[in-house]
Amino acid sequence: MRHIGVLTGGGDSPGMNPCIRAVVRQAIGYGMAVTGIRRGYAGLVENDMQPLDARSVGGIIQQGGTILKSQRFPEFDRPEAQRQALRNLNQRGVEGLAVIGGNGTMKGALALERQGFPVVGIPATIDNDVYGTDIAAGVDTALNTILLAADRIRDTASSHQRAFLIEVMGRASGYLALYGGLAAGAELILIPEQELGLEEIAQDVERAYVRGKAFVIIIVAEGAKLKAQEVADYLEAQNIGYEVRISILGHIQRGGCASAFDRILATRLGTAAARLLHQGEHGKLVGLVGNQVRATDLEEATSRPKPLDMEVYALARAMAI
């Protein structure tokens, strides 16, 4: 292969720029040319592309977001859109594609592969919803951003004897809430994978109060069955002894300069993707399994759910005493 393309799709993640940099520089190291596709699949269909060289990706390793931009583009489901994309790629002489993003973006990658175009996927999303990698690029940075916020809220909670509900991202997965909650020393963690009832929650908060805790932090995943407001209203009505407050972290979780872990992970995955394409291997997703980079079939990666390690949930419970 002498010429590859690279794109970022779906919601942005702090791991995307170090990924792009790694794909580009490794590909150039192999003597391949690289074309950057802007705005994800939208740019692929609308022919919004530009050549990238080693200098184009200088100084981006510590920039949040994605220099290639990203855009949701549900129209890419349609075969006409995919055909247009292939036509644009062929006209420019692009022979393979590194696709960077989350679960939805990988589905688009699989569609192209099925159309006969060689693709390798790289998981970079804060949602950590991609099967085939223990962790996606960007998750570690998002966890650290959650701590930045939670540590600040703890100052305030502890000064006012409060129970604080902090809502973090994660519609389908409780990953950020679970690991963020463990790292923040949260009393309780509410995630889609493990339902708790209002009474159970109130009992836990009451036990914390009786044990003498100055404050209580509850981390709530966006996708948890009970919403933060609902829990807050119930707790307030129980008059446990803590004032109740809510904080919704929102989009700050996606931004920021990538952590050391994410820069290294993104570099390992990005170079692995360039290597596979160079060797003519494709239809794969590169991921971190244990501490090794492994390739998984895109078919498998996009069809299997990514389970949450419930031992970590038990661990968080054990620490909240």
To a second copy, the closest distance from the beta carbon of 292 in angstroms equals 8
User: What span, in angstroms and rounded, lies between the C-alpha atoms of 284 and 133?
Assistant: 12
To a second copy, the closest distance from the beta carbon of 157 in angstroms equals 8
To a second copy, the closest distance from the beta carbon of 107 in angstroms equals 19
Q: For a second copy, which is the closer residue by CB, 91 or 251? A: 251
What's the longest Cα–Cα distance across the chain? 70
Q: For a second copy, which is the closer residue by CB, 113 or 127? A: 127
Q: For a second copy, which is the closer residue by CB, 39 or 284? A: 39
Choice among 12, 48, 127, 262 that is catalytic: 127
To a second copy, the closest distance from the beta carbon of 283 in angstroms equals 24
Q: Check if 297 is active-site.
A: no
Closest C-alpha to 175, from 319, 265, 309:
309
Adjacency order of strands within the sheet including 243-248: 188-190, 216-221, 162-168, 243-248
**Residue 166, SS3?**
strand
Q: In degrees rounded to 5, what are phi and psi of residue 174? A: -90, 15
Residues near 242 by Cβ (< 8 Å), separated by ≥ 6? Answer: 161, 162, 163, 205, 209, 215, 216, 235
Q: For a second copy, which is the closer residue by CB, 110 or 286? A: 286
The set of catalytic residues is: 127
